[in-house]
Amino acid sequence: MTNSTQRALKRALHHAEAYLAGLEGRSVATTASLEELRARLGGELGRQGLDSVQVIDELVAATEGGILGSAGGRFFAWVIGGALPSALAADWLVSTWDQNAAVFACSPAAAVVEEVAGRWLKDVLDLPVEASFAFTTGCQLAHFVGLASARHAVLRDVDWDVNEAGLFSAPPIRVLVSQHRHGSIDRACRFLGFGSRNLTALDVDAAGQVTTRALENALAGDRAPTIVVLDAADLNIAAFDSFETLIPIAKAAGAWVHVDGAFGLFARASRSRRRLLAGVEKADSWATDAHKWLNVPFDCGVAFVRDPEAHRAAMTLSVDYLATDGLARDQMDWNPEWSRRARGFGVYAALRELGRDGLEQVIDRCCECAEALVTGIGALPGAEVLWRPHLNQGLIRFLDPRPGAREADHDAWTDAVIERVNATGEAFFSGTTWQGRRAMRVSVVNWRTGPDDVSRAVAAVEAVLQDS
Ligand SMILES: Cc1ncc(COP(=O)(O)O)c(C=O)c1O
């Protein structure tokens, strides 16, 4: 090892340890402005290179206040997981080993680790053993993989080879999606050339679930090539579609069913919560994230496809392309990228560190903390619970205390309270619009979150409401 590498790594370890040790006391929100960050990090690139340690030290100093505290236990915005110790350390090794996880020949260990991690994931998520899988950058690209496989299969069923003939004169594909779908579904559909005009949004009921009638109506008529996308936990209230009812209806119409389980699919690992996903195993493809509830460092999503032939045909460079006599798994046969990071290592480490019981405990603890947060904050004067978590997501609204306040005032007040709570640095939440009203979303997926974090977050909201 050159002296420069050794010194830079030691420095990085020093900064990383200091960062993690300070998580409890550090502001969860960022404190540096855009202008400050640009001023500190910008300027012209010099002609002369710098010492590696100086680069690292100055990087840490210049980013101070610009790093959001999502690694800690009091970050409840969007759906953002932390990093388990072994997954974080494994990720450092991934950079150290600097493997190109494109094919087995480029890194046999990366290929085999991915093969094993994929099998373990299917096992803990209770998905079909025959399903193939791909480790992607996130759920967005996992949707792309699942829906590309779907596109291949539904066109193959009408004797259209999309790889060879493309889409220009292909039979139209209709895509039926939930009204509550995540935007990453629309984006994946766009990448795949479906066009937003060919997406039909299915009505949902008060619980956010696609109704049977909406699906049946949409499927009535001719048997066009069809893809149905269902939710295994939507972003706001973790609504699960009724897989047991809807998937058989879709299948009877010859449709391919894809499931967005970015975080919700992991509820399969909890014995007390897996009922929410009854029947999900009957789908054709599933997309999830390891960087959410599995607490692997960014980035890592995973796609699973029941029909490996369709999956491989959609992704591989050539169906005849085999680097190793077909004995080893070449990631490029299943992934959209060519060169890529060895994402399997973090997943492998996280699963081994937790084991089945540990994973279940993380899921259950997050759900209990979400419930405690919503109960604690919801009990404060001026707070109204809009959605009590049945999993890890809840919604709270804050009512403008002024006499005669209207809905628009409550909306503005809710956003103002979120901003003030975040400004305390004690906890961090994000806002959302649900059923036409603004709300504060509570999302818990970080392995670090525990009862102390809940108490501190509730106290922070209470202090803001008292001062307002
Ligand atoms: C339900 C759902 N689907 C998809 C995504 C997109 O996931 P990613 O950001 O990993 O691409 C998210 C992100 O929060 C999500 O909550």
Average pLDDT over residues 341-367: 98
Is 110 within the bounds of a domain? yes
By most ligand atoms within 8 Å of CB, the mutation choice from 80, 140, 229, 302 for ligand 1 is 140
Written as six digits, the tokens of 146 are 């699942």
Rounded CA-CA distance 255/258 in Å is 10
Rounded CA-CA distance 141/4 in Å is 36
pLDDT score of 231 more than 70: yes
Check: CB of residue 169 under 8 Å from CB of residue 304: no
Is 64 within the bounds of a domain? no
Is 195 within the bounds of a domain? yes
Confidence at residue 2, expressed as pLDDT on a 0 to 100 scale: 72
Is 37 within the bounds of a domain? no
Rounded CA-CA distance 93/348 in Å is 13
How many whole angstroms from 51 Cα to the centroid of ligand 1? 39
Rounded CA-CA distance 347/343 in Å is 7
- The response to whether residue 284 sits with its C-beta less than 6 Å from ligand 1 reads no
Check: CB of residue 440 under 8 Å from CB of residue 78: no
Check: CB of residue 402 under 8 Å from CB of residue 448: no
Check: CB of residue 243 under 8 Å from CB of residue 278: yes
Confidence at residue 317, expressed as pLDDT on a 0 to 100 scale: 85
- The response to whether residue 297 sits with its C-beta less than 6 Å from ligand 1 reads no
pLDDT in tens, 11-24: 999 999 999 999 99
CA 174 to chain centre: 25
The 3-class secondary structure across the chain, one letter per residue, is CCHHHHHHHHHHHHHHHHHHHCCCCCCCCCCCCHHHHHHHHCCCCCCCCCCHHHHHHHHHHHHCCCCCCCCCCCECCCCCCCCCHHHHHHHHHHHHHCCCCCCHHHCHHHHHHHHHHHHHHHHHCCCCCCCEEEEECCHHHHHHHHHHHHHHHHHHCCCCCHHHHCCCCCCCCEEEEECCCCHHHHHHHHHCCCCHHHEEEECECCCCCECHHHHHHHHCCCCCCEEEEEEECCCCCCCECCHHHHHHHHHHCCCEEEEECCCHHHHHHCCCCHHHHCCHHHCCEEEEECCCCCCCCCCCEEEEECCHHHHHHHHCCCCCCCCCCCCCCCHHHCCCCCCCCCCHHHHHHHHHHHHHHHHHHHHHHHHHHHHHHHHHHHCCCCEEEEECCCCCEEEEEECCCCCCCCHHHHHHHHHHHHHHHHHHCCCECEEEEECCEEEEEEECCCCCCCHHHHHHHHHHHHHHHHHC
pLDDT in tens, 183-194: 999 999 999 999
Residue tagged 């956010």 (tokens) = 208
| Burial of 352 per CB tally in 10 Å (0-12, 13-18, 19+) | middle
Q: Which residues pair with 304 in a beta bridge?
A: 133, 286
- The response to whether residue 140 sits with its C-beta less than 6 Å from ligand 1 reads yes
Residue tagged 């899921």 (tokens) = 363
* Residue 328: band (very low, low, confident or very high) from pLDDT cuts 50, 70, 90: very high
Which ligand 1 atom is the nearest neighbour of the CA of 142?
11
CB atoms closer than 10 angstroms to residue 225: 22
Which residue's CA is the nearest one to ligand 1's atom 7? Answer: 139
223 vs 295, which has greater pLDDT?
Answer: 295
pLDDT in tens, 418-464: 999 999 999 999 999 999 999 999 999 999 999 999 999 999 999 99
How many whole angstroms from 142 Cα to the centroid of ligand 1? 10
pLDDT score of 324 more than 60: no
322: nearest Cα among 311, 330, 310, 314: 330
pLDDT in tens, 384-417: 999 999 999 999 999 999 999 999 999 999 999 9
- The response to whether residue 79 sits with its C-beta less than 6 Å from ligand 1 reads yes
pLDDT score of 48 more than 50: yes
How many whole angstroms from 233 Cα to the centroid of ligand 1? 10
Which ligand 1 atom is the nearest neighbour of the CA of 78?
14
Angle at 279 between CA 291 and CA 225, to 5 degrees: 90
By most ligand atoms within 8 Å of CB, the mutation choice from 145, 187, 235 for ligand 1 is 235
Rounded CA-CA distance 62/60 in Å is 6
pLDDT in tens, 253-279: 999 999 999 999 999 999 999 999 999
Residue tagged 């503005």 (tokens) = 412
Rounded CA-CA distance 225/147 in Å is 13
Is 420 within the bounds of a domain? no
Rounded CA-CA distance 415/302 in Å is 34
Q: Which residues pair with 257 in a beta bridge?
A: 228
Which ligand 1 atom is the nearest neighbour of the CA of 292?
10
Is 379 within the bounds of a domain? no
Question: φ and ψ at 308, to 5 degrees?
Answer: -60, -30
pLDDT score of 3 more than 70: yes
* Residue 303: band (very low, low, confident or very high) from pLDDT cuts 50, 70, 90: very high
Rounded CA-CA distance 151/190 in Å is 12
Confidence at residue 368, expressed as pLDDT on a 0 to 100 scale: 98
- The response to whether residue 229 sits with its C-beta less than 6 Å from ligand 1 reads no
How many whole angstroms from 76 Cα to the centroid of ligand 1? 15
- The response to whether residue 188 sits with its C-beta less than 6 Å from ligand 1 reads no
Confidence at residue 325, expressed as pLDDT on a 0 to 100 scale: 65
Q: Which domain holds residue 151?
A: 88-351
How many whole angstroms from 181 Cα to the centroid of ligand 1? 10
How many whole angstroms from 100 Cα to the centroid of ligand 1? 25
* Count: domains in the chain: 1
Angle at 416 between CA 414 and CA 422, to 5 degrees: 105
Which residue's CA is the nearest one to ligand 1's atom 12? Answer: 262
CATH of the domain at 232: 3.40.640.10
Confidence at residue 95, expressed as pLDDT on a 0 to 100 scale: 98
Rounded CA-CA distance 378/461 in Å is 10
Residue-averaged pLDDT of the chain: 96
296: nearest Cα among 353, 237, 369: 353
Is 325 within the bounds of a domain? yes
Which residue's CA is the nearest one to ligand 1's atom 16? Answer: 235
Buried b (16+ CB within 10 A) or exposed e, 156-189: beeebebeeeebeebeebbbbbbebbbebbbebb
- The response to whether residue 262 sits with its C-beta less than 6 Å from ligand 1 reads yes
- The response to whether residue 394 sits with its C-beta less than 6 Å from ligand 1 reads no
- The response to whether residue 260 sits with its C-beta less than 6 Å from ligand 1 reads yes
Is 359 within the bounds of a domain? no
Confidence at residue 322, expressed as pLDDT on a 0 to 100 scale: 47
Question: φ and ψ at 234, to 5 degrees?
Answer: -85, 165
- The response to whether residue 301 sits with its C-beta less than 6 Å from ligand 1 reads yes
- The response to whether residue 78 sits with its C-beta less than 6 Å from ligand 1 reads yes
Check: CB of residue 90 under 8 Å from CB of residue 110: no
